Chain A
């Protein structure tokens, strides 16, 4: 290793110098305010799922709170619900953008579904001590069983139950946790008698790879969130769900006791302004325009006059 150091060192040094210059350049830019993790009592910890759309909402909450004079510690991208729920229950996170139905099902496996309001009421009752939900937004980002337009046309698919008409083997795609969700492949078989040939995990939360797999017919049925801009841009069909297999998933802030009345007021104002079309548009800015979550949040809050 020491016989070849000369040429290699020159290369390494060049890279090192280049990297230092580049890093120094970044430092004078706009480093993300990572907040201080030594949270004092005045600091509100805002968390987010490991999902870009959820991060945008969390960023909106965070900026609105900061505008209202609160100090915010951002703990974004901390996994899926199963991983972060214990953190919230232990009180280490104060504000978290949640989805009413999915959260309810995570807390109560046998919860009944219903209208958004019914789910919201059930959720309030199901939350452990120390946690509450503030007003829910009109914006919903629900799970859906989605197929391509061509596939839907071939078999005349309209709702989930009509999947029994499909004569070819159906392979399902989605995040790996989908396999065991109450609306997953097992539920399709038990509830509707739909035969599922296989399950393919794609860990992108119904993102581009899932969509590509669907379009390429590598999978025929995918779990894609209804606020995903890919549904429209790729000509996909989210099958109707008249039996409420999926719970309504309205965006709702899950908060701890540390969130006082004035902070709650700020978050409620955000929820009042957030509807589904808005959410799809915000997501589209992230996926199609590749904008960063903080930029998207600032622009929207400013446009809505919330900051």
Chain B
């Protein structure tokens, strides 16, 4: 506890670093995954290509990916950009399938009714299908948020500063309180993001409060390092 109290400034600075590294992937992957997921659902050919690609990408371990990326995109090994891109790719890999499944879960009758009422394909997507797929998307984004926050720490082993730096530094100096502080702060940040998403879901999708989901939510998993 003494260490924590004496180093609140350090913990805060690393927390900010952590937010800077974890927010862009969470936002970016959603922006990219929605059109890709739509494309995956729309055509049989694109479905196979996109979902298989996403599945393979998803199987790629993150630490090696952070090592490989600089060779592919020409960034410096120590650049935080590698971490952001790697985590964005994971987010996309997971969300593409979630978006596609979410859109699938929209009742065909509802789609046809919307068309019958005069919705164009474009406005039907934005005003009917996407909102109805919302709960599934939200569930996916919650997993993305939690795992992204957790995965950012891995960057510390190559020198990209985050709450993970508290692990490597505490390890070198033998300060358990520092590692525990890093663990608590990371989990806290993950829950904070998760809570923010849940709140956003309640605000954006007020109707979901009435739904008592009939189907058990299946587990959604993310590769961890």
Chain A residues within CB distance 8 Å of chain B: 1-3, 5, 9, 12-13, 15-16, 18-20, 22-23, 25-27, 29-32, 34, 50-52, 77-79, 83-84, 86-87, 203-205, 207-209, 286-287, 290-292, 295
Contact = CB atoms under 8 A, between A and B. Distances in A.
Interface of A is mostly: helix
Contacts of B212: 2-3
B52 to A, nearest CB: 26
Contacts of A208: 172-174
B120 interface: no
Given A3-B213, A9-B198, A27-B12, A290 B3 contact: yes
A78 B173 CA distance: 17
A13 B7 contact: no
A290 B198 contact: no
A32 B172 contact: no
B198 A292 contact: no
Contacts of A30: 8-9
B88 interface: no
A30 B9 CA distance: 5
A201 B170 CA distance: 17
A83 B172 contact: no
A5 to B, nearest CB: 7
B12 A15 contact: no
B177 to A, nearest CB: 7
Q: Sort chain B's interface into a size bin.
A: 35 or more
B220 to A, nearest CB: 9
B150 interface: no
Nearest to A51: B172
Nearest to A208: B174
25 contacts: A1-B142, A1-B213, A1-B217, A2-B135, A2-B208, A2-B212, A13-B195, A16-B195, A19-B189, A26-B8, A26-B9, A26-B12, A26-B15, A32-B9, A50-B159, A77-B161, A84-B78, A84-B159, A86-B76, A204-B171, A204-B172, A207-B171, A207-B173, A208-B172, A209-B171
A83 B78 contact: yes
Contact of B211 (A2, A205, A209): A2
B147 to A, nearest CB: 15
B192 interface: yes
Contact of B168 (A12, A23, A50, A84): A50
B100 interface: no
7 pairs of A and B residues whose beta carbons are closest in the complex: A208-B174, A79-B159, A12-B195, A1-B217, A26-B12, A16-B195, A32-B13
Contacts of A51: 172
A121 to B, nearest CB: 31
Interface string B158-180: 11010001001101111101100
B169 A77 contact: yes
Contacts of A207: 171-174
Interface in B134-165: 135, 139, 142, 157-159, 161, 165
Given A78-B159, A207-B174, A290-B175, A26 B11 contact: yes
Contacts of A205: 172
A287 to B, nearest CB: 5
B196 interface: yes
Given A9-B195, A84-B78, A29 B172 contact: no
B165 A77 contact: yes
B8 A287 contact: no
Contacts of B168: 50, 203
B210 to A, nearest CB: 10
A93 to B, nearest CB: 11
B191 A34 contact: no
Question: Chain B CB within 10 Å — which of A13, A22, A295 has the most?
Answer: A22
Nearest to B177: A290
Nearest to B175: A290
A201 B175 CA distance: 20
